[in-house]
Amino acid sequence: MKTCRSVGRVLRRCGSEVDLILKPRKMSVREASLIFEHTTQLHSLSSLVSLLRHWTVRQLDLTELSISALDLTQLLKHDGPLKIKLSEESVQQLLALLHEIQDQDLTRSFLSKVGGDLTSCSLNWEVLQYLLQQASAQTITVNLRKNCFLQESITRLLPFPDRIVFKRPSPSFVLTTIREIYKAPTRHIIPSLLSSLDHVINLTCRELDSVTNPGWNKNVDRNLLLRLIHCCAASDAQQGAASDLLRALQHRLDLSCSSCVELSEEDQTEPLSLTFADCRAVSTILRHCSLDTQLDLRDCEVEDSSLDLLLPVPDRVRLRASKAVLLQLVSLVPGSSERDAVRRGVSLCRALGGELDLSHTTLDQSTCAALALMLDFSDGLTELDLSHCQLTDQLLLTLITHLHKVQVLDLSHNKITDAATHRLLQLVSINPSIETVRLFNNNIVDRTPFKEDKRFEIW
Protein backbone atom coordinates (compact mmCIF):
# COMPACT_ATOMS: atom_id res chain seq x y z
CA MET A 1 0.00 0.00 0.00
CA LYS A 2 2.97 2.32 0.43
CA THR A 3 3.59 1.97 -3.29
CA CYS A 4 -0.03 2.89 -4.02
CA ARG A 5 0.14 5.98 -1.81
CA SER A 6 3.40 7.09 -3.40
CA VAL A 7 1.74 7.24 -6.79
CA GLY A 8 -1.61 8.44 -5.46
CA ARG A 9 -1.26 11.74 -7.26
CA VAL A 10 -0.15 9.92 -10.38
CA LEU A 11 -2.68 7.15 -10.89
CA ARG A 12 -6.39 7.95 -11.20
CA ARG A 13 -9.05 5.34 -11.88
CA CYS A 14 -11.47 6.26 -14.67
CA GLY A 15 -15.25 5.73 -14.57
CA SER A 16 -16.86 2.52 -13.37
CA GLU A 17 -14.87 0.31 -15.73
CA VAL A 18 -12.06 -0.31 -13.26
CA ASP A 19 -11.34 -3.88 -12.28
CA LEU A 20 -8.76 -4.38 -9.51
CA ILE A 21 -7.56 -7.87 -8.71
CA LEU A 22 -5.43 -7.86 -5.58
CA LYS A 23 -2.89 -10.61 -5.24
CA PRO A 24 0.42 -10.76 -3.40
CA ARG A 25 2.60 -8.22 -5.18
CA LYS A 26 0.23 -8.25 -8.23
CA MET A 27 -2.53 -5.90 -9.36
CA SER A 28 -4.62 -5.68 -12.55
CA VAL A 29 -6.08 -2.31 -13.64
CA ARG A 30 -8.42 -2.07 -16.62
CA GLU A 31 -7.91 1.65 -17.27
CA ALA A 32 -5.87 4.39 -15.65
CA SER A 33 -5.10 8.07 -16.26
CA LEU A 34 -2.01 10.00 -15.23
CA ILE A 35 -1.84 13.54 -13.90
CA PHE A 36 1.67 14.91 -13.32
CA GLU A 37 2.97 18.02 -11.67
CA HIS A 38 5.54 19.49 -14.05
CA THR A 39 8.45 19.24 -11.63
CA THR A 40 7.92 15.57 -10.92
CA GLN A 41 6.92 14.44 -14.41
CA LEU A 42 10.08 12.59 -15.43
CA HIS A 43 10.51 10.98 -12.00
CA SER A 44 6.85 9.90 -11.94
CA LEU A 45 7.05 8.43 -15.44
CA SER A 46 10.08 6.39 -14.41
CA SER A 47 8.18 5.26 -11.30
CA LEU A 48 5.25 4.24 -13.49
CA VAL A 49 7.51 2.16 -15.73
CA SER A 50 8.78 0.38 -12.63
CA LEU A 51 5.23 -0.03 -11.36
CA LEU A 52 4.14 -1.67 -14.61
CA ARG A 53 6.51 -4.53 -13.86
CA HIS A 54 4.22 -5.46 -10.95
CA TRP A 55 0.85 -4.13 -12.11
CA THR A 56 -1.01 -5.22 -15.25
CA VAL A 57 -2.54 -2.04 -16.71
CA ARG A 58 -4.61 -2.63 -19.82
CA GLN A 59 -5.06 0.98 -20.87
CA LEU A 60 -3.21 4.14 -19.87
CA ASP A 61 -4.62 7.59 -20.64
CA LEU A 62 -1.87 10.20 -21.10
CA THR A 63 -3.85 12.62 -23.26
CA GLU A 64 -3.70 15.41 -20.68
CA LEU A 65 0.08 15.32 -20.52
CA SER A 66 2.83 16.83 -22.59
CA ILE A 67 5.62 14.24 -22.46
CA SER A 68 8.71 14.32 -24.62
CA ALA A 69 8.99 11.66 -27.30
CA LEU A 70 12.26 10.40 -25.83
CA ASP A 71 10.65 9.85 -22.42
CA LEU A 72 7.75 8.00 -23.99
CA THR A 73 10.10 5.42 -25.46
CA GLN A 74 10.41 4.05 -21.91
CA LEU A 75 6.77 2.96 -22.12
CA LEU A 76 7.25 1.50 -25.60
CA LYS A 77 9.79 -0.95 -24.15
CA HIS A 78 7.16 -2.36 -21.81
CA ASP A 79 6.19 -5.87 -22.94
CA GLY A 80 2.78 -6.17 -21.27
CA PRO A 81 -0.67 -5.89 -22.94
CA LEU A 82 -0.73 -2.12 -22.56
CA LYS A 83 -2.76 0.31 -24.66
CA ILE A 84 -1.80 4.00 -24.49
CA LYS A 85 -3.83 7.10 -25.28
CA LEU A 86 -1.64 10.07 -26.18
CA SER A 87 -2.25 13.69 -27.01
CA GLU A 88 -2.04 14.76 -30.65
CA GLU A 89 1.21 16.63 -29.97
CA SER A 90 2.80 13.60 -28.28
CA VAL A 91 1.87 11.28 -31.15
CA GLN A 92 3.28 13.69 -33.73
CA GLN A 93 6.58 14.05 -31.86
CA LEU A 94 6.88 10.32 -31.25
CA LEU A 95 6.24 9.53 -34.92
CA ALA A 96 8.96 11.99 -35.97
CA LEU A 97 11.42 10.42 -33.53
CA LEU A 98 10.65 6.85 -34.61
CA HIS A 99 11.06 7.77 -38.26
CA GLU A 100 14.36 9.44 -37.49
CA ILE A 101 15.90 6.62 -35.45
CA GLN A 102 14.35 3.81 -37.59
CA ASP A 103 14.03 1.47 -34.60
CA GLN A 104 11.67 -1.24 -35.84
CA ASP A 105 11.06 -2.82 -32.44
CA LEU A 106 10.01 0.49 -30.90
CA THR A 107 7.91 1.32 -33.97
CA ARG A 108 6.02 -1.96 -33.83
CA SER A 109 5.49 -1.49 -30.10
CA PHE A 110 4.18 2.03 -30.70
CA LEU A 111 1.66 0.87 -33.34
CA SER A 112 0.49 -1.92 -31.06
CA LYS A 113 0.11 0.27 -27.98
CA VAL A 114 -1.89 2.97 -29.78
CA GLY A 115 -3.95 0.34 -31.63
CA GLY A 116 -2.75 1.73 -34.95
CA ASP A 117 -4.93 4.82 -34.42
CA LEU A 118 -3.25 7.77 -36.16
CA THR A 119 -6.45 9.69 -36.89
CA SER A 120 -5.23 12.68 -34.89
CA CYS A 121 -2.03 12.97 -36.96
CA SER A 122 -0.96 14.90 -40.01
CA LEU A 123 1.50 12.64 -41.80
CA ASN A 124 3.66 12.74 -44.89
CA TRP A 125 4.34 9.94 -47.35
CA GLU A 126 7.82 9.12 -45.97
CA VAL A 127 6.53 8.58 -42.41
CA LEU A 128 3.46 6.63 -43.54
CA GLN A 129 5.49 4.42 -45.85
CA TYR A 130 7.93 3.64 -43.03
CA LEU A 131 5.04 2.61 -40.76
CA LEU A 132 3.38 0.49 -43.45
CA GLN A 133 6.60 -1.37 -44.15
CA GLN A 134 6.89 -2.68 -40.61
CA ALA A 135 6.39 -6.45 -40.41
CA SER A 136 3.34 -6.23 -38.19
CA ALA A 137 -0.28 -7.37 -38.34
CA GLN A 138 -1.33 -4.02 -36.83
CA THR A 139 -3.67 -2.05 -39.09
CA ILE A 140 -3.06 1.69 -39.33
CA THR A 141 -6.03 4.08 -39.30
CA VAL A 142 -5.63 7.53 -40.83
CA ASN A 143 -7.91 10.53 -41.24
CA LEU A 144 -8.03 11.54 -44.91
CA ARG A 145 -9.23 15.04 -44.07
CA LYS A 146 -5.92 15.62 -42.23
CA ASN A 147 -3.80 13.95 -44.89
CA CYS A 148 -4.81 15.36 -48.26
CA PHE A 149 -1.54 14.16 -49.80
CA LEU A 150 -3.02 10.66 -49.92
CA GLN A 151 -5.24 11.74 -52.82
CA GLU A 152 -2.08 11.95 -54.94
CA SER A 153 -0.46 8.86 -53.37
CA ILE A 154 -3.10 6.26 -54.23
CA THR A 155 -0.88 4.26 -56.58
CA ARG A 156 1.78 4.05 -53.84
CA LEU A 157 -0.83 2.80 -51.37
CA LEU A 158 -2.01 -0.11 -53.54
CA PRO A 159 0.69 -2.53 -52.25
CA PHE A 160 -0.64 -2.08 -48.68
CA PRO A 161 -4.38 -2.83 -48.95
CA ASP A 162 -4.49 -4.91 -45.76
CA ARG A 163 -2.54 -2.48 -43.61
CA ILE A 164 -4.53 0.75 -43.70
CA VAL A 165 -8.05 1.96 -42.90
CA PHE A 166 -9.24 5.34 -44.20
CA LYS A 167 -11.50 7.47 -42.04
CA ARG A 168 -13.63 10.25 -43.56
CA PRO A 169 -12.74 9.45 -47.20
CA SER A 170 -14.10 11.94 -49.69
CA PRO A 171 -16.09 10.65 -52.69
CA SER A 172 -13.35 11.97 -54.97
CA PHE A 173 -10.78 9.85 -53.14
CA VAL A 174 -12.95 6.74 -53.46
CA LEU A 175 -13.55 7.37 -57.15
CA THR A 176 -9.86 7.99 -57.85
CA THR A 177 -8.92 4.81 -55.97
CA ILE A 178 -11.34 2.71 -58.02
CA ARG A 179 -10.01 4.23 -61.25
CA GLU A 180 -6.41 3.43 -60.29
CA ILE A 181 -7.31 -0.16 -59.41
CA TYR A 182 -8.71 -0.71 -62.88
CA LYS A 183 -5.77 0.95 -64.59
CA ALA A 184 -3.41 -1.54 -62.97
CA PRO A 185 -3.72 -5.35 -62.78
CA THR A 186 -4.66 -5.19 -59.11
CA ARG A 187 -8.32 -6.19 -59.06
CA HIS A 188 -7.57 -8.86 -56.47
CA ILE A 189 -7.25 -6.12 -53.85
CA ILE A 190 -10.92 -5.10 -54.13
CA PRO A 191 -11.86 -6.99 -50.91
CA SER A 192 -9.05 -5.24 -49.04
CA LEU A 193 -10.08 -1.89 -50.48
CA LEU A 194 -13.61 -2.37 -49.15
CA SER A 195 -12.18 -3.18 -45.74
CA SER A 196 -9.90 -0.12 -45.89
CA LEU A 197 -12.92 2.09 -46.57
CA ASP A 198 -14.64 0.59 -43.53
CA HIS A 199 -17.16 -1.06 -45.90
CA VAL A 200 -18.64 2.25 -47.04
CA ILE A 201 -18.42 3.43 -50.67
CA ASN A 202 -19.40 7.08 -50.88
CA LEU A 203 -19.89 8.38 -54.43
CA THR A 204 -22.33 11.18 -53.80
CA CYS A 205 -23.39 13.16 -56.85
CA ARG A 206 -22.19 16.53 -55.59
CA GLU A 207 -18.68 15.38 -54.90
CA LEU A 208 -18.45 13.42 -58.14
CA ASP A 209 -19.52 16.44 -60.10
CA SER A 210 -16.57 18.44 -58.76
CA VAL A 211 -13.95 15.89 -59.82
CA THR A 212 -15.45 14.72 -63.10
CA ASN A 213 -14.21 16.39 -66.27
CA PRO A 214 -16.71 17.31 -69.04
CA GLY A 215 -15.71 14.32 -71.18
CA TRP A 216 -16.35 11.77 -68.44
CA ASN A 217 -19.15 9.31 -69.08
CA LYS A 218 -22.36 10.63 -67.53
CA ASN A 219 -23.13 7.14 -66.22
CA VAL A 220 -19.84 6.95 -64.35
CA ASP A 221 -21.31 5.68 -61.08
CA ARG A 222 -23.21 2.68 -62.32
CA ASN A 223 -20.51 1.72 -64.80
CA LEU A 224 -17.97 1.69 -61.99
CA LEU A 225 -20.39 -0.34 -59.90
CA LEU A 226 -20.74 -2.85 -62.73
CA ARG A 227 -16.95 -3.18 -62.85
CA LEU A 228 -16.82 -3.87 -59.13
CA ILE A 229 -19.57 -6.46 -59.51
CA HIS A 230 -17.73 -8.19 -62.35
CA CYS A 231 -14.53 -8.21 -60.35
CA CYS A 232 -16.12 -9.82 -57.29
CA ALA A 233 -17.93 -12.40 -59.45
CA ALA A 234 -14.91 -13.26 -61.62
CA SER A 235 -13.68 -16.29 -59.67
CA ASP A 236 -14.40 -18.37 -56.61
CA ALA A 237 -11.60 -16.59 -54.75
CA GLN A 238 -13.02 -13.16 -55.55
CA GLN A 239 -16.60 -14.15 -54.74
CA GLY A 240 -15.67 -14.07 -51.09
CA ALA A 241 -15.65 -10.27 -51.51
CA ALA A 242 -19.29 -10.23 -52.66
CA SER A 243 -20.67 -9.94 -49.13
CA ASP A 244 -18.15 -7.16 -48.39
CA LEU A 245 -19.24 -5.29 -51.53
CA LEU A 246 -22.92 -5.56 -50.57
CA ARG A 247 -22.13 -4.31 -47.09
CA ALA A 248 -20.11 -1.41 -48.46
CA LEU A 249 -23.05 -0.44 -50.69
CA GLN A 250 -25.40 -0.72 -47.70
CA HIS A 251 -26.99 -3.74 -49.42
CA ARG A 252 -28.10 -1.70 -52.40
CA LEU A 253 -27.11 -2.52 -55.99
CA ASP A 254 -28.36 0.63 -57.69
CA LEU A 255 -27.93 0.61 -61.48
CA SER A 256 -30.45 3.39 -62.04
CA CYS A 257 -29.82 7.01 -62.95
CA SER A 258 -30.29 7.93 -59.29
CA SER A 259 -26.73 6.71 -58.68
CA CYS A 260 -25.25 8.96 -61.36
CA VAL A 261 -23.94 12.49 -61.49
CA GLU A 262 -26.57 15.12 -62.09
CA LEU A 263 -28.12 14.58 -65.51
CA SER A 264 -30.31 16.75 -67.66
CA GLU A 265 -33.92 15.73 -68.08
CA GLU A 266 -33.13 14.45 -71.58
CA ASP A 267 -30.16 12.37 -70.40
CA GLN A 268 -32.18 10.81 -67.61
CA THR A 269 -34.20 8.91 -70.22
CA GLU A 270 -31.13 7.16 -71.62
CA PRO A 271 -31.16 3.55 -70.36
CA LEU A 272 -28.20 1.44 -69.35
CA SER A 273 -28.00 -1.72 -71.46
CA LEU A 274 -27.16 -4.74 -69.33
CA THR A 275 -25.49 -7.64 -71.13
CA PHE A 276 -25.75 -11.35 -70.43
CA ALA A 277 -22.39 -11.14 -68.62
CA ASP A 278 -23.64 -8.21 -66.52
CA CYS A 279 -26.73 -10.13 -65.37
CA ARG A 280 -24.70 -13.25 -64.65
CA ALA A 281 -22.31 -11.23 -62.48
CA VAL A 282 -25.20 -9.52 -60.64
CA SER A 283 -26.86 -12.90 -60.06
CA THR A 284 -23.59 -14.27 -58.66
CA ILE A 285 -23.24 -11.36 -56.25
CA LEU A 286 -26.85 -11.65 -55.07
CA ARG A 287 -26.38 -15.29 -54.13
CA HIS A 288 -24.00 -14.07 -51.41
CA CYS A 289 -26.47 -11.66 -49.78
CA SER A 290 -27.08 -12.38 -46.11
CA LEU A 291 -29.36 -9.40 -45.42
CA ASP A 292 -32.21 -7.77 -47.34
CA THR A 293 -30.64 -6.35 -50.50
CA GLN A 294 -32.23 -3.95 -52.98
CA LEU A 295 -31.59 -4.38 -56.70
CA ASP A 296 -32.53 -1.26 -58.66
CA LEU A 297 -32.93 -1.80 -62.42
CA ARG A 298 -34.82 1.38 -63.22
CA ASP A 299 -33.45 3.15 -66.30
CA CYS A 300 -32.07 -0.19 -67.53
CA GLU A 301 -32.58 -2.26 -70.66
CA VAL A 302 -32.13 -6.02 -70.53
CA GLU A 303 -32.68 -8.74 -73.13
CA ASP A 304 -34.98 -11.61 -72.14
CA SER A 305 -32.17 -14.18 -72.27
CA SER A 306 -30.10 -12.05 -69.88
CA LEU A 307 -32.98 -11.14 -67.60
CA ASP A 308 -33.75 -14.83 -67.20
CA LEU A 309 -30.61 -15.09 -65.04
CA LEU A 310 -32.13 -12.74 -62.45
CA LEU A 311 -35.45 -14.53 -61.99
CA PRO A 312 -34.21 -17.09 -59.44
CA VAL A 313 -33.17 -14.29 -57.08
CA PRO A 314 -32.62 -15.17 -53.42
CA ASP A 315 -35.26 -14.69 -50.75
CA ARG A 316 -33.69 -11.53 -49.39
CA VAL A 317 -33.56 -9.51 -52.65
CA ARG A 318 -36.01 -6.64 -53.15
CA LEU A 319 -36.44 -5.52 -56.75
CA ARG A 320 -37.10 -2.08 -58.22
CA ALA A 321 -37.33 -1.98 -61.99
CA SER A 322 -38.71 -0.02 -64.92
CA LYS A 323 -42.17 -0.94 -66.21
CA ALA A 324 -40.61 -2.46 -69.32
CA VAL A 325 -38.34 -4.73 -67.27
CA LEU A 326 -41.22 -5.71 -64.97
CA LEU A 327 -43.32 -6.66 -67.99
CA GLN A 328 -40.42 -8.76 -69.30
CA LEU A 329 -40.03 -10.51 -65.95
CA VAL A 330 -43.73 -11.37 -65.79
CA SER A 331 -43.62 -12.68 -69.36
CA LEU A 332 -40.72 -14.97 -68.43
CA VAL A 333 -42.61 -16.63 -65.55
CA PRO A 334 -44.07 -19.57 -67.59
CA GLY A 335 -40.58 -21.01 -68.18
CA SER A 336 -39.96 -24.45 -69.64
CA SER A 337 -41.89 -26.52 -67.09
CA GLU A 338 -44.54 -26.15 -64.39
CA ARG A 339 -41.90 -26.59 -61.71
CA ASP A 340 -39.83 -23.84 -63.31
CA ALA A 341 -42.89 -21.59 -63.54
CA VAL A 342 -43.70 -22.07 -59.85
CA ARG A 343 -40.14 -21.22 -58.84
CA ARG A 344 -40.05 -18.11 -61.02
CA GLY A 345 -43.47 -16.87 -59.99
CA VAL A 346 -42.83 -17.25 -56.26
CA SER A 347 -39.36 -15.71 -56.56
CA LEU A 348 -40.57 -12.68 -58.54
CA CYS A 349 -43.55 -12.04 -56.26
CA ARG A 350 -41.31 -12.15 -53.20
CA ALA A 351 -38.72 -9.84 -54.80
CA LEU A 352 -41.43 -7.28 -55.55
CA GLY A 353 -42.38 -7.08 -51.89
CA GLY A 354 -46.07 -7.78 -52.53
CA GLU A 355 -46.65 -4.87 -54.95
CA LEU A 356 -46.70 -5.01 -58.76
CA ASP A 357 -47.23 -1.84 -60.77
CA LEU A 358 -47.72 -2.45 -64.50
CA SER A 359 -49.70 0.74 -65.08
CA HIS A 360 -49.25 2.50 -68.44
CA THR A 361 -48.01 -0.68 -70.12
CA THR A 362 -49.91 -2.50 -72.85
CA LEU A 363 -51.02 -5.99 -71.84
CA ASP A 364 -51.87 -8.67 -74.39
CA GLN A 365 -53.16 -12.21 -74.11
CA SER A 366 -49.68 -13.65 -73.61
CA THR A 367 -48.67 -11.31 -70.78
CA CYS A 368 -52.07 -11.70 -69.07
CA ALA A 369 -51.65 -15.49 -69.17
CA ALA A 370 -48.19 -15.16 -67.64
CA LEU A 371 -49.50 -12.80 -64.96
CA ALA A 372 -52.34 -15.23 -64.18
CA LEU A 373 -49.77 -18.00 -63.77
CA MET A 374 -47.72 -15.82 -61.41
CA LEU A 375 -50.82 -15.05 -59.34
CA ASP A 376 -51.77 -18.73 -59.30
CA PHE A 377 -48.43 -19.79 -57.79
CA SER A 378 -47.99 -16.85 -55.41
CA ASP A 379 -49.84 -15.70 -52.31
CA GLY A 380 -47.84 -12.61 -51.39
CA LEU A 381 -49.05 -10.08 -53.97
CA THR A 382 -51.24 -7.62 -52.08
CA GLU A 383 -51.36 -4.67 -54.53
CA LEU A 384 -51.73 -4.90 -58.30
CA ASP A 385 -51.92 -1.78 -60.50
CA LEU A 386 -53.21 -2.52 -64.02
CA SER A 387 -54.48 0.97 -64.81
CA HIS A 388 -53.91 2.38 -68.32
CA CYS A 389 -53.10 -1.11 -69.66
CA GLN A 390 -55.63 -1.36 -72.54
CA LEU A 391 -57.43 -4.15 -70.67
CA THR A 392 -60.53 -5.51 -72.43
CA ASP A 393 -63.24 -7.80 -71.07
CA GLN A 394 -61.53 -10.73 -72.78
CA LEU A 395 -58.16 -10.01 -71.11
CA LEU A 396 -59.86 -9.44 -67.75
CA LEU A 397 -61.47 -12.90 -67.97
CA THR A 398 -57.97 -14.40 -68.32
CA LEU A 399 -56.98 -12.85 -65.01
CA ILE A 400 -60.15 -12.77 -62.94
CA THR A 401 -60.02 -16.27 -61.45
CA HIS A 402 -56.71 -15.36 -59.80
CA LEU A 403 -57.45 -11.77 -58.72
CA HIS A 404 -58.98 -12.90 -55.40
CA LYS A 405 -55.43 -13.03 -53.98
CA VAL A 406 -54.98 -9.26 -54.42
CA GLN A 407 -56.11 -6.90 -51.67
CA VAL A 408 -55.90 -3.64 -53.65
CA LEU A 409 -56.66 -3.88 -57.39
CA ASP A 410 -56.56 -0.91 -59.76
CA LEU A 411 -58.31 -1.49 -63.12
CA SER A 412 -58.87 2.20 -63.91
CA HIS A 413 -58.57 3.77 -67.40
CA ASN A 414 -59.11 0.56 -69.36
CA LYS A 415 -61.70 -0.79 -71.82
CA ILE A 416 -63.80 -2.85 -69.42
CA THR A 417 -67.54 -2.82 -70.23
CA ASP A 418 -70.86 -3.83 -68.61
CA ALA A 419 -70.27 -7.35 -69.91
CA ALA A 420 -67.70 -7.90 -67.14
CA THR A 421 -69.88 -6.45 -64.35
CA HIS A 422 -71.21 -9.78 -63.12
CA ARG A 423 -67.76 -11.37 -62.86
CA LEU A 424 -66.36 -8.35 -60.98
CA LEU A 425 -69.27 -8.28 -58.50
CA GLN A 426 -68.94 -12.02 -57.93
CA LEU A 427 -65.16 -11.72 -57.40
CA VAL A 428 -65.57 -9.20 -54.59
CA SER A 429 -68.65 -10.71 -52.96
CA ILE A 430 -67.07 -14.12 -52.32
CA ASN A 431 -63.62 -12.81 -51.35
CA PRO A 432 -63.69 -10.69 -48.17
CA SER A 433 -59.88 -10.34 -48.32
CA ILE A 434 -60.26 -7.90 -51.23
CA GLU A 435 -60.19 -4.36 -49.82
CA THR A 436 -60.40 -2.09 -52.86
CA VAL A 437 -61.18 -2.38 -56.59
CA ARG A 438 -60.76 0.80 -58.63
CA LEU A 439 -62.72 1.09 -61.90
CA PHE A 440 -62.44 4.77 -62.79
CA ASN A 441 -62.82 5.75 -66.45
CA ASN A 442 -63.81 2.46 -68.03
CA ASN A 443 -66.66 1.80 -70.50
CA ILE A 444 -69.09 0.70 -67.79
CA VAL A 445 -72.42 2.47 -68.33
CA ASP A 446 -74.61 0.96 -65.58
CA ARG A 447 -72.78 1.66 -62.34
CA THR A 448 -75.73 1.01 -60.03
CA PRO A 449 -74.73 -2.56 -59.04
CA PHE A 450 -71.43 -1.29 -57.69
CA LYS A 451 -73.10 1.08 -55.19
CA GLU A 452 -73.96 -1.78 -52.85
CA ASP A 453 -70.32 -2.59 -52.08
CA LYS A 454 -68.14 0.26 -50.86
CA ARG A 455 -65.01 -1.62 -51.85
CA PHE A 456 -65.63 -0.57 -55.44
CA GLU A 457 -64.34 2.87 -56.49
CA ILE A 458 -65.93 3.81 -59.80
CA TRP A 459 -67.26 7.35 -59.56
Sign of the dihedral through C-alpha 409, 410, 414, 420: positive
For residue 329, give the nearest of 359, 371, 369, 300 by alpha carbon. Answer: 371
φ/ψ of residue 320, rounded to 5: -125, 130
Residue at 434: amino acid letter: I
pTM: 0.57
Radius of gyration of the chain (CA): 32
d(CA 168, CA 313): 34
Burial of 218 (0-12, 13-18, 19+ CB in 10 A): middle
Q: Contact at 8 Å (CB) between 386 and 361? A: no
pLDDT tens for the 459 residues of the chain, in order: 333 333 434 444 333 333 333 333 455 555 555 544 444 454 556 666 666 666 666 777 777 777 778 877 777 777 767 788 888 888 888 888 888 888 888 888 888 888 888 888 888 888 888 888 886 667 888 887 887 787 777 777 777 767 777 787 766 777 777 666 666 655 555 666 666 665 555 555 433 333 333 333 344 467 778 888 887 787 665 556 777 778 777 788 888 876 554 444 544 557 889 999 999 989 888 887 878 889 999 889 998 888 888 877 767 789 999 999 999 999 999 877 888 888 888 888 888 888 999 999 999 999 999 999 999 887 778 899 999 999 999 999 999 999 988 999 999 999 999 999 999 999 999 999 999 999 999 999 999 999 888 999 987
∠ Cα 384 387 389 (to 5°): 110
Q: What is the DSSP letter of 258?
A: G
Within 8 A by CB and 6+ apart from 380, the residues are 349, 350, 354
- Give the pairing type, strands 83-86 and 383-385: unpaired
Query: Edge to edge, what strands does the sheet with 436-438 contain?
Result: 355-357, 383-385, 408-410, 436-438, 456-457
Q: What does each C-alpha distance from 455 to 255, 409, 441, 448 come to in angstroms?
A: 38, 10, 17, 14
Sign of the dihedral through C-alpha 129, 130, 135, 136: negative
Task: Set out the domains of the chain in order of their start, with CATH numbers.
Answer: 202-321 (no CATH), 339-459 (3.80.10.10)
